[in-house]
Chains A and B, each alone.
Chain A
Amino acid sequence: MKLFALALATLLPCLAAASDADSGKVLGSPSAPIRIEVFSDFECPACKALHEQLLPLIMRDYVIPGKVFLVSREFPLPMHAYSREAANYATAAARLGKYQQVADTLFLNQTTWEVNGKVWDTVADVLTPAEAKKVQLLAKDPSVLSEVQRDVDAGRAAGINQTPTMFVSRGTSRFPIAGATNYNLLRSLLDGLLK
């Protein structure tokens, strides 16, 4: 997570939204040759593993060197009671530039809030009182709710049937990768696309 925070700080100046992505949910340079979109659900254990184990490696090897532009998308599954609420808070926090911090804490404490339902307490822990107030208001804002729904609709349209699902794109080629992924294979794929 330190790596994530460091990367975020390093990349803040060059952060820019792609036309269809929330600027608070992207990492890296939009002009990077490869784009990876990650559709995840904050209550899904495989998404937690991807966020905590795989994404830091992708950040270190590809995003920070400017080879990959990373876009986070919400795909709360209906079977998870609190994942939509978590996605709303994270998307609201993205408006304040706090998406990564909120995503980190939601995944870190996933096993707690998915049982007790205290999603807000988990989110509020990483926000200042002023930010918390804004996020609480934004989480009910129709534009935030529709942004989450847009991600869900985009995922459904792309045929997503499980989380996490990544879409790796280079030019006109777009490859879906569903479920937990071996980093050696992903690295081989990305290196092949970069050649």
Chain B
Amino acid sequence: MVSSSRVFRAVVLALRVALGAVFVYAAWTKLRQPWELFAMSIDAYKVLPYWAVVVEARTLPWAELLIGLALMAGRWLRVSAGAASLLLLMFFVLMVRTYGKGMAIDCGCFGLGDPISPRTLLRDGSLLAGCLFLTWTSFRGRRRAA
């Protein structure tokens, strides 16, 4: 009989790899296109000044790629899961705010043509919940080890 701790570890592993793949895919959809297109998506939220839009558009996809690879490889798990949670929390708050204000814009999460809707909110909310759970398990594991 399979012990519950083995099932738990398998679930965490599957979640970690899946979330890592999502981050790598999100990075790929942005990096394969000119950076200005992602910058336009960020600018549409109307929360950042122009210089910050440019900096974010040029750096965020690389950060997503690093986080995704680290999650998939299981390296620096507390840092990568924590960073993923923070990023997703930021995206989710922005998307809820934008949707609440009735702004019809693309979310910019996975390239172009993905307007903010209840579906995108549910998707990003689920990813956020998964990342928060992963972050919790990574710190819980450390406490137990200590």
Does any Cβ of A come within 8 Å of B106's Cβ? yes
Would B43 and A182 count as touching, CB distance under 8 A? Answer: yes
Query: What residues on A are CB-neighbors of B34 within 8 Å?
Result: 175, 189, 192-193
The closest CB in chain B to the CB of A160 belongs to B113
Does any Cβ of B come within 8 Å of A97's Cβ? no
Would A180 and B44 count as touching, CB distance under 8 A? Answer: yes
The closest CB in chain A to the CB of B46 belongs to A180
Partner of A175, one of B37, B43, B105: B37
In whole angstroms, what is the CA distance A159 to B40 when docked?
18
Would A185 and B106 count as touching, CB distance under 8 A? Answer: no
Does any Cβ of B come within 8 Å of A186's Cβ? yes
Does any Cβ of A come within 8 Å of B126's Cβ? no
Would B40 and A182 count as touching, CB distance under 8 A? Answer: yes
* Size bracket, chain A contacts: 10 to 19
Would A178 and B39 count as touching, CB distance under 8 A? Answer: no
| CB interface residues, B 73-127, toward A, < 8 Å | 104-106, 112-113, 115
**Closest CB-CB distance, B6 to chain A, in whole Å?**
44
Query: What residues on A are CB-neighbors of B43 within 8 Å?
Result: 182, 185
The closest CB in chain B to the CB of A178 belongs to B106
Would A176 and B44 count as touching, CB distance under 8 A? Answer: no
Partner of B115, one of A162, A182, A186: A162
| CB interface residues, B 35-63, toward A, < 8 Å | 36-37, 39-40, 43-44, 50, 53
Partner of A179, one of B33, B36, B39, B44: B44
**Closest CB-CB distance, A20 to chain B, in whole Å?**
21
Does any Cβ of B come within 8 Å of A188's Cβ? yes
The closest CB in chain A to the CB of B103 belongs to A179
Would A161 and B40 count as touching, CB distance under 8 A? Answer: no
Does any Cβ of B come within 8 Å of A181's Cβ? yes
Query: What residues on A are CB-neighbors of B33 within 8 Å?
Result: 175
Would A186 and B105 count as touching, CB distance under 8 A? Answer: no
| CB interface residues, B 1-42, toward A, < 8 Å | 33-34, 36-37, 39-40
Would B36 and A192 count as touching, CB distance under 8 A? Answer: yes
Query: What residues on A are CB-neighbors of B106 within 8 Å?
Result: 178-179
Does any Cβ of B come within 8 Å of A128's Cβ? no
Does any Cβ of B come within 8 Å of A177's Cβ? yes
Would B113 and A161 count as touching, CB distance under 8 A? Answer: yes
Query: What residues on B are CB-neighbors of A177 within 8 Å?
Result: 37, 40
| CB interface residues, A 153-195, toward B, < 8 Å | 159, 161-162, 175-182, 184-186, 188-189, 192-193
B residues adjacent to A (C-beta < 8 A): 33-34, 36-37, 39-40, 43-44, 50, 53, 104-106, 112-113, 115
Please list 19 pairs of residues, one from A and one from B, whose beta carbons are closer than 8 Å in the complex, sorted by A's number. Answer: A161-B113, A162-B104, A175-B37, A176-B113, A177-B37, A178-B105, A178-B106, A178-B112, A179-B44, A179-B106, A180-B44, A182-B39, A182-B43, A185-B43, A185-B53, A186-B36, A188-B36, A189-B34, A189-B36
With A161-B115, A162-B115, A179-B105 given, can you name 12 additional A-B contacts, CB distance below 8 Å? A175-B34, A175-B112, A177-B37, A177-B40, A179-B44, A179-B106, A180-B44, A182-B39, A182-B50, A184-B50, A185-B53, A186-B36
